[in-house]
Structure 1
Amino acid sequence: MAALSPLRPDLAIIAANVAPGSSVLDVGCGDGALLAALRDRQCDARGMELDPGNVAECVARGLSVIQGDADADLSFYPDRSFDYAILSQTLQTTKRPDRVLEELLRIGRRAVVSFPNFAHWRVRLALLWGGRMPVTRLLPVAWYETPNIHHVTVDDFRALLKERGIVVEQAWFLKGDRLTSPAAANFRAEHAVFLLSR
């Protein structure tokens, strides 16, 4: 399949699947790349970001972003405040991913979650043959400096969704920067994106 766009691949998938004109909260919005793309699609796009430097950069670009912590500050939003609550490459960095997921589905009519798959075959091979935590393109830093505190896999995430009665409306899997088949995604996909609802 062809490359998706100049956005990071998971963000391109998200942007393409958020309905134009929707209200969106991007939790852990980073430098605001997704927010800017959604704003260009006439979405009411707002962000929450922990890093003050990223918040300042977003605000300087005219994006509506506040400083906040996904683990602590989502509770301040009323139920169903947004059409979409998005968490891209942030789930594995939160203290309680299960609670953050519940909050996303409380404040958004739908939630979009993307994360690196720690069961990808290259990660498994690095552990098997090298005996060390891998450093890859999607996991580019050593174990002692990574923000990733929960090593989630596609199958782990699916099990959590089933346990909580969360509906998967759509799922996309990436191998490198390209979409790949959902077949054996836990082994083959480097990255996963899920569109969820209750």
Structure 2
Amino acid sequence: MVLYLFHVDKLSSAHVYVRLEPGQTWLDIPQAVVEDCAQLVKANSIEGNKKNGITVIYTPWDNLKKTPGMETGQVTFHNNKKVKRVFVEKRINEVVNRLNKTKVEKFPDLRLERIQREKIDRKNARLDEFAEKEKARLLSEEKRRAEKEINDMFDPTQMKSNWRETEVEDINEAEEDFM
């Protein structure tokens, strides 16, 4: 599971987290979701809500860096290349109202969810490993059958040599013998 944090750049604001399915990246986040999240953090920022033309940043949660001495809620990043920005010209009340109507506040046990997710990931890894071993076994068996088939076709009694008992001195004689 990958979480992405949305936050108004350089201003205090709410944090909006987007949870993606395993294997998804921020390239898979629909633009409409990005815009909705940007509107939410703008609307829930004391300073950002009053201003037009703000920038909202988003990054994977594991890119967040908290160092001693930082204010509450203040973070920086391990890698600035993993930070994306979206420009929000102004607050769109229709979007904020639509999202507020569907608001559901949950207090999940994140530790338990992580343990369950890791358990599923380990199970999937074991299944992938088993599938790879089975594929290797089938390839090995197919190779062994092909070698056996070639060996079965080999019959020494049917072999004839092109080696001559005597050396031919006249090339024309050799060609006639060949034809």
Q: TM-score, normalised by structure 1?
A: 0.20
Q: TM-score, normalised by structure 2?
A: 0.21
Relative contact order, CA 8 A, sep 6+: which one is greater? 1
Structure having the larger proportion of residues in strand? 1
Structure having the larger proportion of residues in helix? 2
